[in-house]
Amino acid sequence: MRRAEKAGIIGGKLDEMYPETPIPLDHVDPYTLLVAVMLSAQTTDKKVNEVTPRLFEAAGSPGEMALLEVDKIHSIIREIGLAPTKAKNLRRMAEQILEDGGGVRPDWDFLESLAGVGHKTASVVMSQSFGIPAFPVDTHIHRLAARWGLSDGRNVAKTERDLKAAFPEETWNRRHLQIIYFGREHCPALRHNLRECPICSWAATKKRIREEMGV
């Protein structure tokens, strides 16, 4: 089956399974989404959502965050992975936003210049806060793209390019969330039975099934 045909069938299946695509990170505006996505690195969304209510109560805007001491920020987010570095980045990121005018704006160069913000975080904010087509690639998406034969899994940047080529641009903003939901519910990284998976069972190659299942 050709990649484009396979992607079309997968897209249809995901649309059936996940007609609604709520963002799994709690937020109220582009800034709080930016903070939540930045915090989610090396941490579950569930843990981020447990921490951010207290953080946003103390500092729900760049102006408020810039006034907090790094130690105070760290004390609030200490249960999150890489908390010391993230606390420093949150403070510096707030200062950078204030230096730029005080708001989070839909500009790739601006977002990716912020402390602690990489391409994936910028992609989430661009797509979910501003509706600009983007295809953020996290560990779930990277894994499933390789399993389904939509990318060779060489690296995240290659996976992003391949998925953008495979799916229509108008679907990107919901498709990346649908793949995340599917990965969490049906396609775990370990001890996954590809032969019983709703998508891997037909989309994965026989070679991939043998490699992962040892049969």
Ranges of residues in the chain whose predicted pLDDT is under 50 = none
Catalytic residue among 6, 138, 152, 207: 138
| CA dist list (Å): 186 to 46, 110, 136 | 18, 36, 20
Q: What are phi and psi of 138, to 5 degrees?
A: -105, -170
pLDDT digits (tens, 9 = 90+) for 141-157: 999 999 999 998 789 99
pLDDT digits (tens, 9 = 90+) for 6-36: 999 999 999 999 999 999 999 999 999 999 9
Residue 111 confidence (pLDDT): 98
Residue 153 confidence (pLDDT): 79
Q: Say yes or no: domain 30-103 is CATH 2.60.40.10.
A: no
Nearby residues of 78 by Cβ (< 8 Å), 6 or more positions away: none
Domain ranges across the chain: 3-20+135-213, 30-103
Instruction: Give, for 128, the enclosing helix (H) or strand (E).
Output: helix 119-130
Catalytic residue among 46, 100, 120, 152: 120
Closest CA to 54 of 71, 72, 29: 72
Residue 215 confidence (pLDDT): 63
* Residue 120 annotated in active site: yes
**Vertex 132 angle, CA 15 and 124, to 5°:** 75
Look at the domain 3-20+135-213 and name its fold. Answer: Endonuclease Iii, domain 2 (1.10.1670)
SS3 for 149?
Answer: coil
Task: Name the one residue in this structure whose structure tokens are 């999150």.
Answer: 80
* Residue 72 annotated in active site: no
